[in-house]
Amino acid sequence: MTRTPADTQAADVIVVGAGPAGSSAAFHLAQAGVDVLLLEKAAFPRDKICGDGLTPRAVRQLVAMGIDLDAPGWARNQGLRIVGAGHRLELPWPELASFPPYGMVRTRMDFDELLARHAEKSGARLMERTAVTGPVIDEASGRVVGVTARPVDDRGRKVGDETTYRAPVVIAADGVSARIAIALGLERRENRPMGVAVRAYYETPRHDDPWMESWLELWDGAPGRSNLLPGYGWIFGVGDGTANVGLGILNTSKAFQNVDYKDVLQRWLSNTPEEWGFRDDAHRVGRIGSAALPMGFNRKPHYTRGVLLCGDSGGMVNPFNGEGIDYALESGHIAAETIVQALATPAGPARERVLEGYAAELESVYGGYFTLGRIFAKMIGNPTFMKQATKYGLPRTALMKFTLKLMANLTDPRDGDVSDRIINALSKVAPAA
């Protein structure tokens, strides 16, 4: 069918941003037969600063979307290796009915494009190099009824005329910038943790390590004879000859405001074994990059006036471990399911009640758990607590298995073991504030 210009500028749903959240929402909407317009300011392939690690929680969403995880470009891992206080502990991903027993690694350079193309193949209309400039608000109802956007060139500069795209529902999946939410007056909540992630790629013989590796202590020399650096580190093998190596630091740390993150990364890596290849910049592929991590629902409400916030735009990064891709994929899925039901309901108060159910569902699924995560983020911001927890916790394998389930949010909701029941109970009783 040939579309007129007016047809191409109208849809049932507009999704702003083709990252994991936006592409997940667009895919599930298109699968349900919804006319969805997916607007992305960049052109693929494009990079995002990230650890690239996908826990079983994210893998479950990819499997549900029909992504071929046996295709080239994926690196599969069997669990998490934790390093700290002189210990190295390997914890396999838990055997659960709700999640696959493996994780994956894939660079964001092609991961995001893979998801966006997958949504496009399912029927979503993807428009790249289209920078959304703001929401369109109906004066009579106060609802958002579309967005304005301008084309951009390959350097991100706005070119051409502004165009209005219209839809009765808009999904804001525009990442940490959250421009749509900010335009609607939804400011960041200062009582929520924020993090910064710094990462680089290095050519290394460790590229095919079957374990995702997490360092709970970062030293700028030999432990015991040097300074303990703020934050935690990771080494994730990409499987293509390189590893994603980085560190994260929370704003609950006293060093957060004044630290040079890139310097901390290089000081840590300069004391790793030489044969790993992380000491020499000649082995680095590309630049060292950094990005903010909006955690623990730091922007609410997640639904207002026809707009649903998904992924980073709604602060859906896990405060326990800085993981955001799985919650981006899940929130996109939940948003799509909500919208499908809403569009089947007559416009007006009844449809509005269905759409409001999106925010309620997020609170039910994540609210209590993220509250626990915010408490945890405050605790580990204290270097004394972190040092003692690492020293006395790592030697206790049973405790660390429990901690892995808690931090990665991997439990069976029914018929789980004792640790599952404890974590689920804690998440249920914790207030979703």
pLDDT bracket for residue 56 (50, 70, 90): very high
How many residues in the chain?
Answer: 433
Tokens representing 431? 């207030």
| Short-list 258, 362, 247, CA closest to 315 | 362
Peptide bond into 294 cis (omega under 30): no
- Is residue 74 within 8 A of residue 44, CB to CB? The reply is no
Q: How far apart are CA 313 and CA 328, in angstroms?
A: 9
Question: Does position 88 have pLDDT exceeding 70, yes or no?
Answer: yes
CB 170 within 8 A of CB 180: yes
Alpha carbon separation from 186 to 189, 293, 297, 299, 304 (Å, rounded): 9, 17, 12, 7, 9
Superfamily of domain covering 5-75+105-189+296-371: FAD/NAD(P)-binding domain (3.50.50.60)
Closest C-alpha among 91, 18, 2, 8 to residue 310: 18
242-300 per-position pLDDT tens digit: 999 999 998 888 778 888 889 889 989 998 999 999 999 999 999 999 999 999 999 99
Overall average pLDDT of the 209-234 stretch:
81
Please give the order of strands across the beta sheet that includes 36-39.
125-127, 36-39, 13-16, 169-172, 307-309, 303-304
More confident residue, 340 or 389: 340
Q: What is the pLDDT of residue 1?
A: 46
Q: Is the pLDDT of residue 164 over 90?
A: yes
State the burial class of residue 345 (Cβ atoms within 10 Å of its Cβ: 0-12, 13-18, 19+): middle
Average pLDDT score over residue span 107-119: 97
What residue ranges do the domains of the chain occupy? 5-75+105-189+296-371, 194-293, 381-429
pLDDT at residue 160 greater than cutoff 90: no
State the pLDDT confidence band at 224, using cuts at 50, 70 and 90.
low
pLDDT at 225 over 60: no
Name the average pLDDT for the chain: 93
Question: Does 10 score more than 80 pLDDT?
Answer: yes
The b-or-e profile of 107-126 (16+ CB within 10 A means b, else e) is bbbebbbbbbbbbbebbbbb
Q: How many CB atoms lie within 10 A of CB 70?
A: 7
pTM (two decimals): 0.95
What percent of the chain clears pLDDT 70, i.e. is strictly above it?
97
- What's the rounded Cα separation, in Å, for the pair 139 and 142? 5
Q: pLDDT tens, 329-351?
A: 999 999 999 999 999 999 999 99
The pLDDT, as a whole number, for residue 229 is 75
Cα–Cα distance, 330 to 53 (Å, whole number)? 16
Rounded to an integer, the average pLDDT of 38-45 is: 96
Question: How far out from the chain centre does Cα 420 lie?
Answer: 23
pLDDT, mean of residues 166-193: 95
* φ, ψ (nearest 5 deg) of residue 198: -125, 130
Angstrom CA distances, 32 to 3, 28, 36, 424, stand at: 20, 6, 10, 31
What would the two tokens of residue 208 be?
A: 């095919």
| Residue 317 reports pLDDT greater than 50 | yes
